[in-house]
Amino acid sequence: MATAGKVIKCKAAVAWEPNKPVVIEEIEVAPPQANEVRIKIVATSVCHTDLYHLFESMHKDGFPTVLGHEGAGIVESVGPGVTEFQPGDKVIPLFLSQCKECHLCKNPRTNQCEVAWTRINQAIMAGVESRFTCKGKRVLQFMGTSTFSEYTVINQMAVAKIDPAAPLDKVCLLGCGICTGYGAAVNTAKVEPGSTCAVFGLGAVGLAAVMGCKAAGAKRIIAVDVNPDKFEKAKVFGATDFVNPKDHDKPIHEVLTKMTNGGVDYSLECVGNVQVMRSALESSAQGWGVSVIVGWTDLHDIVIRPAHLISGRTWKGSMFGGFKSKDGVSKMVKDYLDKKLKVDEFISQNMTLDQANDAIELMKNCKCIRAVMSVSPP
């Protein structure tokens, strides 16, 4: 392409400081260096983790940054040493690398990658490297991806090549939320046919967890949320029962334990709240229940009692649904194209990058499941 090897000036939504609106700016995106890919982002959506960084963790060293880690686009150019990708490929950026060479990538029991957290500074939720500048200042790349920009540069270890038939304004959602929830049920909890499950939190991740429980053959799927407006949507993905903790005068784990005659087989916490994590654990059956932490937070400790686990429960965590990122995303896109996976049903609004603050407000006020923003023409 004519832009290969050159600095690209383009539009991006820059978060200059925490707890403030993002600003649509012209940024400079440097050419890809060795083993890097420059991508034209076609579509992206807002995930709660973007809001977590902007409004909750607010690490002073994590700004200025370009948010966004749930997107899809087309390869514009590649740096030296890149053989897996070429200009024109449809791709999904990944916040979790898969180098395929380290001992973790070669271990089927984990989706972690030894290289992943050398690329990302977890404290500030940004890539160690950045190819962005704006007004003469270096701008961080949130989670190493930064999909709230018309162009971004990412290491090839953190890019998934996808089927060229995939609609980018739909499959962008597979970059985080859907894979995270669906995989937590299927890969991490390993939900069994005929089982009873409870999913706490009915955002996109929770709804995807409901979908995963159904795909795994669960007989009863209890959707738990304080917003009853979400229950109809949960039914679309396979929920069979609905519980609003506000409707009860006793703790939610007691309600669920009574409903299920002793607790659910599997519970999944998709909120990122430590009190809810404990409730989810206590809602699982004492002798064999499995509870999975899916929601992200790193601000508080969880307080439990040893008896919660000594009685026979298993407590697990799940990042990106346990999917090895490059392989898992490519397969999930194929499953979507083969009509084995719902994706379109998660999209509640279609917007543009210029409306980034509106999309953020919708997510902040729980007025959307996923707002997809068009960023560049395909």
pLDDT in tens, 175-189: 999 999 999 999 999
For 262-277, give one letter per residue: b (16+ CB within 10 A) or e: ebbbbbbbbbbbbebb
Same domain membership, residue 253 and residue 187: yes
How does the average pLDDT of the chain come out, rounded?
96
Cα three-residue angle 205-211-215, rounded to 5 degrees: 140
Question: How far is the CA of 66 from the CAs of 19, 25, 61, 155, 262, in angstroms?
Answer: 14, 10, 13, 17, 46
Residue 218: give its domain's CATH number.
3.40.50.720
- CA distance linking residue 164 with residue 330, whole number of Å: 11
pLDDT in tens, 299-346: 899 999 999 999 999 999 999 999 999 999 999 999 999 999 999 999
Amino acid 41: pLDDT: 98
8 Å CB contact between 364 and 51: yes
Collapsing DSSP to helix, strand or coil, 108 comes out as: coil
Is 36 contained in some domain? Answer: no
Question: How far is the CA of 343 from the CAs of 33, 170, 218, in angstroms?
Answer: 34, 7, 20
Same domain membership, residue 358 and residue 299: no
pLDDT in tens, 103-161: 999 999 999 999 888 888 988 999 999 999 999 999 999 999 999 999 999 999 999 99
The percentage of the chain sitting over the pLDDT mark of 70, rounded to a whole number, equals 100
Is 283 contained in some domain? Answer: yes
Q: Which of 51-60, 182-191, 335-344, 353-362 has the lowest mean pLDDT?
A: 51-60
Output phi, psi for 56, to 5 deg: -115, -60
Residue 236's domain comprises 176-316
Amino acid 102: pLDDT: 96
Amino acid 146: pLDDT: 97
Is 339 contained in some domain? Answer: no
Is 22 contained in some domain? Answer: no
Is 127 contained in some domain? Answer: no
pLDDT band at 26; cut points 50, 70, 90: very high
Same domain membership, residue 279 and residue 225: yes
Q: Which of 316, 332, 358 is the last residue of a domain?
A: 316
The percentage of the chain sitting over the pLDDT mark of 90, rounded to a whole number, equals 93
Same domain membership, residue 205 and residue 311: yes
The residues that bridge with 337 in the sheet, in sequence order, are: none
Q: Which of 316, 337, 360 is the last residue of a domain?
A: 316
Is 114 contained in some domain? Answer: no
Question: How far is the CA of 246 from the CAs of 190, 226, 249, in angstroms?
Answer: 30, 6, 8
The mean pLDDT value for 50-59 works out to 90
Residue 162 host element (H or E): none
Amino acid 1: pLDDT: 65
* Count of domains observed in the chain: 2
- Residues 6 or more apart whose CB falls under 8 angstroms from that of 18 comprise 53, 54, 55, 58, 59, 60, 62, 63
Same domain membership, residue 269 and residue 184: yes
For residue 100, count other CB atoms closer than 10 A to its CB: 13
Amino acid 123: pLDDT: 86
Same domain membership, residue 367 and residue 280: no
Is 184 contained in some domain? Answer: yes
Strand 137-141 versus strand 132-134 pairing type: antiparallel
pLDDT in tens, 191-203: 999 999 999 999 9
Take residue 118 and report the two structure tokens written for it. Answer: 């050398």
pLDDT in tens, 262-278: 999 999 999 999 999 99
Same domain membership, residue 312 and residue 191: yes
Record the pTM.
Answer: 0.95
Question: How far is the CA of 322 from the CAs of 206, 235, 246, in angstroms?
Answer: 15, 25, 32
Same domain membership, residue 251 and residue 180: yes
Is 29 contained in some domain? Answer: no
- CA distance linking residue 100 with residue 95, whole number of Å: 15
Residue 46 host element (H or E): none
Same domain membership, residue 368 and residue 312: no
